[in-house]
Structure formats: structure tokens, C-alpha cells
């Protein structure tokens, strides 16, 4: 094989570098951009106590509610753009408080000592699993 043919086979062209850069950028964007799954149609957070709905907090405006039960008092906060959370609770481990903000349909916060459950209601549920 001649030396000129070898140089042409292994020479990197500008088009190759540009194509590689475009493919890498597209791959990174595909991985980091949100898909929108589970974000559409969020309407409200429903608060359940002992299996019964006791309140509904709309997620399009800011608000807070306090609930007093036999086990104690719980404060629930809703903020547009963040979702809903339990800001204060008298339960011992405070797992419900440490759960933080929820904002996608189907997400829940539970406070077992107070028999309280908060669930985001909406039109579209987030996928449990995606199989290719």
C-alpha cells in the first residue's frame, strides 16, 4: 500500500470532527432534558386521614393548612412550582417532613402515626417502568 493511500485512510477530516461533536451533544441533551412524563395535568394535592379525604389543596396557588388529630398537629404547605410538603409534624421520626416536596401525579407523602396521606392528583401518571 502506498504512503499517500495510508495517509488518506487515517486522515481526520473537519466533517468527522463536527459529526462527532453533534452526536455527543445530542446524546448529552437526550439524557439531561426532562421528558415531560408525569408532569401534565397536575391539579391538586388531596389530604386523606384514616382513608377519608379531608382536604384538597390546589397547586396553582400558595397556601397552607394545619390539621389537628388525636395524635397531634400537622402543617401542610403548597407552593406553585414546588408542589406540596408537610412542613411540621409531631411524629417521632418525622419521615413525612423529610420526604420534602412532591409535585408529580401519583406521588405521595405518608405520616403513619397520624394516619395521614397526601397524594398528588392529575390527569397523567408518571411511568412506573419503561421497557425497550
What pLDDT digit, counting tens, does each position of 3-14 carry? 665 666 566 678
* Domain residue limits, the chain: 3-32, 42-122
First to last CA, the chain: 45
- To the question of pTM greater than 0.75 for the whole model, the response is no
Identify the band that residue 74 occupies on the pLDDT scale cut at 50, 70 and 90: very high
Fold observed for domain 42-122: mini-chromosome maintenance (MCM) complex, domain 2 (2.60.320)
Q: Per residue in 28-67, pLDDT tens? A: 888 887 655 545 566 899 999 989 999 999 988 898 999 9
Three-class secondary structure of residue 48 per DSSP: strand
Other beta carbons within 10 angstroms of residue 4's beta carbon come to: 8
Q: Which of 9-13, 85-89, 104-108 has the lowest mean pLDDT?
A: 9-13
Amino acid at each position: 500500500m502506498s504512503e499517500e493511500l495510508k495517509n488518506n485512510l487515517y486522515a481526520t477530516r473537519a466533517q468527522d470532527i463536527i459529526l462527532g461533536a453533534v452526536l455527543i451533544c445530542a446524546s448529552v441533551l437526550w439524557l439531561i432534558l426532562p421528558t415531560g412524563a408525569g408532569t401534565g395535568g397536575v391539579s391538586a394535592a388531596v389530604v386523606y386521614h384514616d382513608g377519608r379525604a379531608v382536604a384538597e389543596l390546589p397547586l396553582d396557588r400558595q397556601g397552607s393548612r394545619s390539621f389537628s388529630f388525636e395524635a397531634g398537629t400537622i402543617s401542610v404547605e403548597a407552593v406553585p412550582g414546588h408542589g406540596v410538603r408537610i412542613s411540621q409534624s409531631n411524629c417521632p421520626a418525622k419521615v413525612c417532613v423529610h420526604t420534602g416536596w412532591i409535585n408529580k401525579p401519583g406521588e405521595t407523602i405518608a405520616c403513619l402515626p397520624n394516619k395521614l396521606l397526601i397524594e398528588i392528583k392529575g390527569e397523567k401518571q408518571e411511568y412506573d417502568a419503561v421497557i425497550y
